Amino acid sequence: MWGTFTLLCLLGVLRYAALQDATTVAPAPAPPAPGGLGNDTSKCEDLVVYADKVPDGFSIKDIISNIGNMRMHLEDFVDGWKGSCPGGPVKMDPSMMKDAEAEAKKCHMEPDPYEPMFWEGTGHGIVGVWGMDMKMLKEMATTTKPWMKNKRLTSLPDEKLKAMIGSYVKGDWDPFYQINWGLTDQVACAVAMYNSSDFELLSKKFKKEIKTKTQLWNIMCLFKPMGCVVGKEAWKFCGFRTETGNSHKTKITTPFTISSTSRTIPPSTSKTKKPHSAGTRIGGEIGLNVGTLTILILTTLSKNLINLLIPISA
């Protein structure tokens, strides 16, 4: 009788321990909301947005042609991009023009003047430059030099520049990878002209005292599909042997090996143990678990129970 009672108690304890070992999967944290840039249209006076012709003899089409020219000459940007295939062509997407104009109307004045910036829109990437005069605007819009010779790109080690082609990492170099992203084929741009009398802001941004109303120009371009995706391949290498195992994974053999995958990695989940669950891990280091311990204990107790119920003959 005592053997039966002991057996039932032990079974109850083991069942409780097994329940305590149950794990709960915590939901993956929600992705951060797309970033943006500070802007305040109240600081913009006499705002005019150009979606076709721009004063001083160039047009929005010239801006898009300049982007296409840069994509065709990736090797000329930095030594770390040597061996890159020419980027695919881009075309103006009329369906994005309204969004490009709306972005230009926001009168972005962050972060630094003259510096290309990147942020995520809704279903598209955005590259913009603010704070230019007409001469600088034309140079930025119709020549490749301001993009190819930017210190935020040229100061990076060649190894890092090349590695990020195979598996991208976000940083302040985003605009230069975004504008050349291999899958991008649709672009829409707009130019904003405005005056600002916010002398405190102007002096701070341009790092000199400004006490007169200043005319400024911004370029805003939208790109689709959006690039700058962490872990994804930015574009292809040429001049190296390429081994393709299947449509989802590509191994590129370069002076150093880069492997990239286009498979979507599911959100990570974390397991949270309930209190006291460590008690059921006894013997875990030697390959035992609750089920194994249950079998061993039941086997031993069964023998003892039989001995108690059936007296051993003298």
CB-based burial label for 195 (10 Å; 0-12, 13-18, 19+)? middle
Q: What per-residue confidence (pLDDT) applies to 111?
A: 85
Structural domain boundaries in the chain: 41-261, 273-303
What CATH homologous superfamily does 41-261 map to? Answer: CAP (3.40.33.10)
Q: How far is CA 86 from the centre of its chain?
A: 23
The Cα–Cα gap between 79 and 295 comes to 66
The model's pLDDT over 110-157, given as tens digits with 9 standing for 90+, comes to 889 999 999 998 889 999 999 999 999 999 999 999 999 999 999 999
pLDDT at 77 over 50: yes
Structure tokens at 152: 């935020």
- The whole-number average pLDDT for the span 66-83 is 95
pLDDT band at 299 (very low <50, low <70, confident <90, very high): low
132 three-class SS: strand
**Structure token pair of residue 144:** 């490749």
pLDDT tens per residue, range 196-255: 999 999 999 999 999 999 999 999 999 999 889 999 999 998 854 343 333 333 333 333
pTM as predicted:
0.64
Rounded Cα distance between 201 and 204, Å, is 5
Burial of residue 120 (number of CB atoms within 10 Å: 0-12, 13-18, 19+): middle
